Structure 1
Amino acid sequence: MGQKNFVLDTNVLIENPKCITTLRNGQDNKIHIPYTVLTELDKLKRDPRIGHIVAQAISIILKDKIVTILPPEYAESLTALNPDDCILKETINSGIDEPVLITNDRILQIKAGIYSLKCEGYKDSEPFRSDSQIYTGFTAETESPIINSFRWENGTPVFYGHKENKAVTYTHEVWGVTPRNIYQNLAIELMLNDKLNIISVQSEAGYGKTFLALASALFLALEKKDNPYEKVYLVKPLWEIGAKMGFLPGTVEEKMQPYIRYIHDLAVKLHEQRPANRIFMDSDPEKIRFNQKKFEILPIAYIRGMNLENCVVIIDEMQNMSRSEVRSLLTRMGEGVKCICLGDTRQVDNPYLNESNNGLNWIVKKLKNNKEYAHMVLKGERSRGPITDLIIKTGL
């Protein structure tokens, strides 16, 4: 087969920025990008939902010196047309020998057929993956171990710590909780490791990261001897409340009730498995009153000015925190602190953040390979229940 000339539509670059490399196939084919596509990318880069993907596409275009940009002069004369029609006209009048327009826009495919322009869809879409997804906490056998990562050796996970390696051949039980799978067991291994001051766990909803973190925190603060931990803090970003939170009646804890109900439910579940009376104000835990001397839930805004010492800090939904918020929070932590960061960069609710530019991803990007830090992606075949299992399995 001879060399092909592919002209890329905007939607193809957004769905999979790496399509340039795939379609070029080494030196076999040529890639052309209409000027109108660059104009569309320039507008989309400001969109917080996909700006990180646009940046990746632009980076690949800049690195790939063989990509040809169709001249702007003709495109600028088509300003009266919509972007799809501009791309179509640019391709037809480009002078390229037998161009093939690559687009997943079905209307544009129909329009291309009217002009007898060869057109193909691009089906190899690849969802964007953040650093916290790409780095799973495991190192391949062919690679040099990352500090505080796991490696599979003869079917057994081996933890490569800063100074020593350890095969994890045992199963943890913490505060009456037995892990459902090997990944949960390894997450607990990190949470209980006294050499690690800060760890992060990435996973989809339903894999039990918050439940495991609470169980580990209760064990460290209420049971384990010879450690400095006297209290558990749970910090949660409440950007959706924002300034309005101050106008709600009641105490901080009462204002936060709609957003922390799930924490209470998990705490009660742990209490039922093994009594945790010291974290509740009442003998009846259903009253949802935590003993703030032992267990306290705080929004980020209330952390400023505090100095956290001798405690376990769980930061939940860290993907909804900005880089500056993470820095402000972590610099509040003094001596004797264990910090457990939880989140899922695929579930960013904060409209000002995205999969790449969020607190959890920044933690992994900046702290990876540090002797006091470890990260892992929590997964497995069983989550919180059969329906959740089905949704995760099918990718709904």
Structure 2
Amino acid sequence: MPEKKALDTRIYVLDTNILLHEPLAFLSFKEHDVVVPMTVLEELDYIKDSKKDVARDARVSIRAMEDLLHDATPEQLMEGVSMQGIGAGDNAPTGSLSIFVDHALPADQHIFTSDENDNRIINTALHLQGQSSPRQVTLVTKDINMRLKAKGAGLAHVEDYRTDQLVSDIKYLSKGFHRFKGDFWGEVTAVDSRTEGRDTIHTLARDVLPEAYVNEYLLDDTEHFAGVVESVNEQEIDVLDLGYERLMGHRAWGISPKNIGQAMALHSLLDPHIDLVILTGPAGSGKTLLALAAALEMVVEKNMYDKIIVTRSTPEIAESIGFLPGTEEEKMAPWLAAITDSLEVLHKNDENVKGSMSYIMEKANIQFKSVNFMRGRSIQNAIVILDESQNLTASQLKTIITRCGEGTKLICSGNLAQIDSNYLSAVTSGLTYIVEKFKNFSGSATINLDGVVRSRLAEFAEEQL
């Protein structure tokens, strides 16, 4: 029986980028065995002391492995140390973790002639594939070129790390709204309507929209009905009637929506009961402008929040920000030009545009912060605008979301077609992850803006290029 179990389990060889993407990734393989080549430890050692934004992730991963392996002898370390007892539940690991000394491989077993780190890791996987047959050996890496090289070198199984991937294709990602074909009321056979103050709430049978979730907007093709799901149970859903024209009539800081997508976004942005608003969509759909207009409306006009914190992350920030002159906010200004551009648009009709912008930035207490310095903070009673969030991993977004204290609203915006990270794709981006994870949270709303309103040039480019 033990031999049968051993053959059923696999051996996973991890690349460095997996442990930088998710430091505790080695605990995610359940009953299977995990091998970390010595070259990976060397790369983590180099990165942990660097100024890169992944240095912390490298340190977390090293500490976690050390906690597991600190009592093991060198022989046990190479043989494999059981991970049983770490964590609880069905996904708790029961396999082993081992360190493979890839430097000790004989020269005649090297497929590649050059001694690059990627080649050493592939050589490790190839060696284990030969030694451990018929057990399946799989190399796990987020490096697409490395996956191609490994396959070309004869490795049978190569995978991306998909534990944090919640959708198989970006077309299945929640849009935040559902559009009924034809007339909405034609789909409804029974309804119980009631009035609460100025609001009208319709109670419908769940089978009208079986996949409904809280704060999902409902539209139809007649452009008369618009509503939002207030609550969901096994039998019924409650829908707040918003009215198409009333929804389109929302205004914030002098701007009004140009399409129904912007109207839904503005409604969720101005709703004080929603703590997290996620805006996705192509370049030019109005994500940043709407977020800033709603933030100014709530801070300056309605005094609902004390300040606006604007932050974003790019792969180069950690390396480049130190070389720019000035304070942290002055260093961040080039990266957050999209915000100042939007401020300029909002005040383009003022007599003195620069004077208006300076006054509003002071009045609204707009602060530009690097996402690298958000860790450890507790942000109270503020609006946080996180721009270009498609470049963040799920763990990085978790770090930012958990900074938000009492009375803080977080607005995440991003275009999943413009990911700059070397190891993220549309389906593995942290933005995609939180869209799906927060779908059933009553304090969050997601809107996919699908119309380009920046200019006809931008609209044509988005469609044709």
**TM-score, normalization: structure 1?**
0.62
- Structure with the bigger RCO (C-alpha within 8 Å, sep 6+) is 1
Question: Does structure 2 retain, via aligned residues, the 8 Å contact 1:309–1:334?
Answer: yes
Q: Pick from 210, 234, 251 the counterpart of residue 173 of structure 1.
A: 251
Q: Pick from 151, 158, 168 the counterpart of residue 227 of structure 2.
A: 158
Name the stretch that deviates more: 243-252 or 312-321: 243-252
Instruction: Provide the residue aligned with 1:242 in structure 2.
Output: 318
Instruction: Provide the residue aligned with 1:355 in structure 2.
Output: 426
Q: Pick from 136, 145, 152 the counterpart of residue 175 of structure 2.
A: 136
Q: Residue by residue, what CA displacement relative to the aligned partner does 1:150-177 show, whole Å, maximum 9, x if unpaired?
A: 1224532211123651223312111110
Question: Does structure 1 retain, via aligned residues, the 8 Å contact 2:308–2:366?
Answer: yes
Instruction: Provide the residue aligned with 2:332 in structure 1.
Output: 256
Calculate the aligned-residue CA RMSD, in Å. Answer: 3.4
- For residue 339 of structure 1, report the CA deviation from its aligned partner: 1.1
Question: Does structure 2 retain, via aligned residues, the 8 Å contact 1:343–1:360?
Answer: yes
- Matched AA of 2:240: N
Q: d(CA) in 2 for partners of 1:82 and 1:313?
A: 48
Instruction: Provide the residue aligned with 1:330 in structure 2.
Output: 401
Q: Pick from 147, 150, 156 the counterpart of residue 214 of structure 2.
A: 147
Q: Pick from 449, 453, 463 the counterpart of residue 378 of structure 1.
A: 449
Instruction: Provide the residue aligned with 1:125 in structure 2.
Output: none
Distance 1:223 1:48, change over 3 A: farther
Distance 1:293 1:266, change over 3 A: closer
Distance 1:48 1:383, change over 3 A: farther
Three-state SS of the structure 2 residue aligned to 1:258 is coil
Q: Residue by residue, what CA displacement relative to the aligned partner does 1:158-203 show, whole Å, maximum 9, x if unpaired?
A: 1112365122331211111011111111110111112211110110
Q: Does 1:312 align with 2:352?
A: no
Q: d(CA) in 2 for partners of 1:292 and 1:253?
A: 16
Three-state SS of the structure 2 residue aligned to 1:339 is strand
- For residue 335 of structure 1, report the CA deviation from its aligned partner: 0.6
Question: Does structure 2 retain, via aligned residues, the 8 Å contact 1:190–1:374?
Answer: yes
- For residue 82 of structure 1, report the CA deviation from its aligned partner: 9.3
Q: Which runs of 5+ in 1 are unaligned?
A: 1-38, 55-78, 84-127
Q: Which runs of 5+ in 2 are unaligned?
A: 1-128, 130-136, 155-167, 181-207, 232-237
Instruction: Provide the residue aligned with 1:221 in structure 2.
Output: 299
Q: Pick from 277, 299, 306 the counterpart of residue 370 of structure 2.
A: 299
Distance 1:359 1:390, change over 3 A: same
- For residue 362 of structure 1, report the CA deviation from its aligned partner: 1.4
Distance 1:387 1:342, change over 3 A: same
Q: d(CA) in 2 for partners of 1:44 and 1:388?
A: 41
